[in-house]
A and B are shown apart, each in its own frame.
Chain A
Amino acid sequence: MLEIRHAYKTFFPGTINEKIALSDLNLSIEDGEFVTVIGGNGAGKSTMLNIIAGSLTVDSGQIIVDDQDITRLPEYKRAANFGRVFQDPMMGTAPTMQIDENLAIAARRGEIRGLKWGIDKEERERYKELLKEFDLGLEERLSAKVGLLSGGQRQALTLLMATLKKPKLLLLDEHTAALDPKTAQKVLDITDKIVEKSKLTTFMVTHNMRDAIRHGNRLLMLNEGKIILDIKGEEKQKMTVEKLINRFEKASGEEFANDAAILG
């Protein structure tokens, strides 16, 4: 479904600020996989998602979605394939527009936007039903400006926006990191529900090893712009935090920095 071939990305090449974000990254994802991604700060997780979505272009390498090479396609054209939720709750929604207007825009992802009215009655009903399932009270506030919502509410809304039109791949970049633990849990539950319901192929970056183990059916660990661990199937199901740290140390040849954030 998605293939990344020999992707390289370096920021500020040739200067003292040179940062190698991706270095010969190779990855192939099958339909229906729910991949969780972990790795320390600066490991290249966000960069990987950004080169898939097109907010960044690779220095070299290829990105292929369903046999189509999208490496040089601008972000907005790739968007037909992807649903995205960002770490920053501010990034995924238009704050000065209403909840239903945001959803209506998302419902038309990848379509030509013409001179038809931007939203109709039936879709408003549909949004109401969908929001009801979140149990956040948003269904009663369809015409409220999104800027008035809390971070958790916004992330839930962004999730719905990302999946309203079924994406080939759902890209989640630490989408619960800015939320308090209770809200984060709620948004994660919603995520599971949505992924389950629409059988979405999903990429979820997280800082939390436990979440990475608990969710999904495949686990990647990134280090210095490379995938150093790729755990699937039964092994993934039986994974524990201790085993994972062990595997990390073997794979990277480094001592595992006891990073509280990664342990979660």
Chain B
Amino acid sequence: MTLLNALPGAISQGMLWGIMAIGLYITFRVINISDLTVDGSLATGGAVCVMLVRSGLNVWIAILLAALVGMLTGLATGLLHTKCGIPAILSGILTQLALYSVNLRIMDSKANQPVSVDKYHLLVSQRYVRELSLRNPLILLSVIIIVLIGLLYWFFGTEKGSSIRATGANLNMAKAQGINTEANINLSLVISNSLVAFAGALLAQFQGAADVSMGRGAIVIGLAAIIIGEVLFSKIFVNFALKLFSVVIGAILYYIVLQIILLMGLNTNDLKLFSALIVAVFLSVPYFKEKHFRKPVIPGKGGN
């Protein structure tokens, strides 16, 4: 009974983090970079949006500006990586660290800035998760996710998008085919972090506050979503749009499982440990499969 009660909340959380995980997918899977910027840019998105809404700006404009600032955070990481030659992971860590200070500045040096749904018009709020009305966040979140997946599916099918996929698949081939790989890596980080900041902006509204540490461990949750989605659906979902969709399902499942475990009496303080363990286990599955269950290599057919 309590699980049923908690379900709508868990699903909304999952959808919010699913948007974030879609952003992460673009770096982690499309261009093969583990981008740690996201822990910072998620909070940046939340901070920008909440501060702008509090100052009286329309919530849609606030959320767009949050995504725009998210782009800048991705660009910062991209430039550190492509122009200064710093390894991608380290570039992300540097930006993430810098963003902690930046986020505090944005939030008027407070670690937490509330935005009440009573005082402001917000797009999503957890207060309405069990309500049967248009205010229910599940509705808007579904629409947003469908639109986002559609947009990304279109973009990665275009000439530009294909060239980004090639950049991630084989840097050598991409350069030999005249693709500006550095620009593509930067563009991917920009798109990715704008989505993450966008998710942060929605998350802050949902929770009714922006918190300077709301992004801590975001990359782990995003990875969990990606990997759960892949483990469950990689055999049947081969189309790019469906792959993005499975990322969202992965995020939703992650939050449902989390909810169940919490109901079983797990201490909330242990949540991060638990999340890290799940991701570690799933990330190591392909490795152990390769190592212990490798099938004999079948020589390529035809041609030879």
Q: Are A109 and B177 in contact (CB under 8 A)?
A: yes
Q: Which of B124-170 contact A (CB under 8 A)?
A: 155, 157-163, 165-166, 169-170
Q: Are B170 and A95 in contact (CB under 8 A)?
A: yes
Q: How far is the CB of B201 from chain A (nearest CB, A)?
A: 26
A253 at interface by CB-CB < 8 Å? no
A166-B178 Cα distance, complex, nearest whole Å: 13
A161-B162 Cα distance, complex, nearest whole Å: 15
A151-B302 Cα distance, complex, nearest whole Å: 11
A104-B169 Cα distance, complex, nearest whole Å: 15
Nearest chain A residue, comparing its CB with the CB of B32: A96
Q: Are B179 and A150 in contact (CB under 8 A)?
A: no
Q: Are A79 and B303 in contact (CB under 8 A)?
A: no
A114-B180 Cα distance, complex, nearest whole Å: 13
Q: Which of B200-255 contact A (CB under 8 A)?
A: none
A residues within 8 A CB of B166?
94, 97, 102, 105
Q: Tell which of B159, B181, B300 touches A76, judged by Cβ atoms closer than 8 Å.
A: B181
A257 at interface by CB-CB < 8 Å? no
Q: Are B160 and A114 in contact (CB under 8 A)?
A: yes
Q: Tell which of B158, B165, B181, B300 touches A114, judged by Cβ atoms closer than 8 Å.
A: B158
A148-B111 Cα distance, complex, nearest whole Å: 51
Q: Are B158 and A151 in contact (CB under 8 A)?
A: no
**Can you list, as one digit per residue, whether each of A139-173 has a CB less than 8 Å from chain B (1) or not (0)?**
00000000001111100100001100000000000
A113-B181 Cα distance, complex, nearest whole Å: 12
Q: Are A105 and B163 in contact (CB under 8 A)?
A: yes
Nearest chain A residue, comparing its CB with the CB of B178: A79
A residues within 8 A CB of B119?
none
Segment among A28-36, A115-123, A207-215, A226-234 that sits at the interface with chain B: A115-123
A residues within 8 A CB of B277?
none
B272 at interface by CB-CB < 8 Å? no
A92 at interface by CB-CB < 8 Å? yes
Q: Tell which of B165, B177, B302 touches A106, judged by Cβ atoms closer than 8 Å.
A: B177
Nearest chain B residue, comparing its CB with the CB of A151: B300
Interface size on B, residues (CB 8 A): 28
A108 at interface by CB-CB < 8 Å? yes
Q: How far is the CB of A12 from chain B (nearest CB, A)?
A: 18
Specify the main secondary structure of chain A where it touches its partner.
loop
A200-B177 Cα distance, complex, nearest whole Å: 17
Task: Take A77-B178, A106-B177 as given contacts and tell me if A113 and B169 are in contact as well, using a CB distance cutoff of 8 Å.
Answer: no
Q: Are B175 and A150 in contact (CB under 8 A)?
A: no
Most chain B CB within a 10 A radius of its CB, from A101, A105, A150, A182: A105
Q: How far is the CB of B161 from chain A (nearest CB, A)?
A: 7
How many chain A residues sit at the interface, stated as a range, is 35 or more
Q: How far is the CB of B261 from chain A (nearest CB, A)?
A: 35
A86 at interface by CB-CB < 8 Å? yes
Q: How far is the CB of A83 from chain B (nearest CB, A)?
A: 8
Q: Are A115 and B302 in contact (CB under 8 A)?
A: no
B304 at interface by CB-CB < 8 Å? yes
A220 at interface by CB-CB < 8 Å? no
Task: Take A150-B299, A153-B303 as given contacts and tell me if A118 and B176 are in contact as well, using a CB distance cutoff of 8 Å.
Answer: no
A residues within 8 A CB of B61?
none
Nearest chain A residue, comparing its CB with the CB of B167: A94
Q: Are B162 and A96 in contact (CB under 8 A)?
A: no
Q: Are B303 and A136 in contact (CB under 8 A)?
A: yes
Most chain A CB within a 10 A radius of its CB, from B178, B302, B304: B178
A residues within 8 A CB of B180?
76
Q: How far is the CB of A160 from chain B (nearest CB, A)?
A: 13
A residues within 8 A CB of B160?
113-115
A137-B300 Cα distance, complex, nearest whole Å: 13
B residues within 8 A CB of A105?
162-163, 166, 174, 177, 179
A residues within 8 A CB of B304?
150-152, 180, 182-183
Q: What are the nearest 3 A-B pairs in CB distance?
A: A150-B300, A79-B178, A94-B169
- List 4 additional A-B contacts (Cβ < 8 Å) besides A102-B166, A108-B178, A113-B159: A114-B160, A136-B303, A137-B303, A162-B176
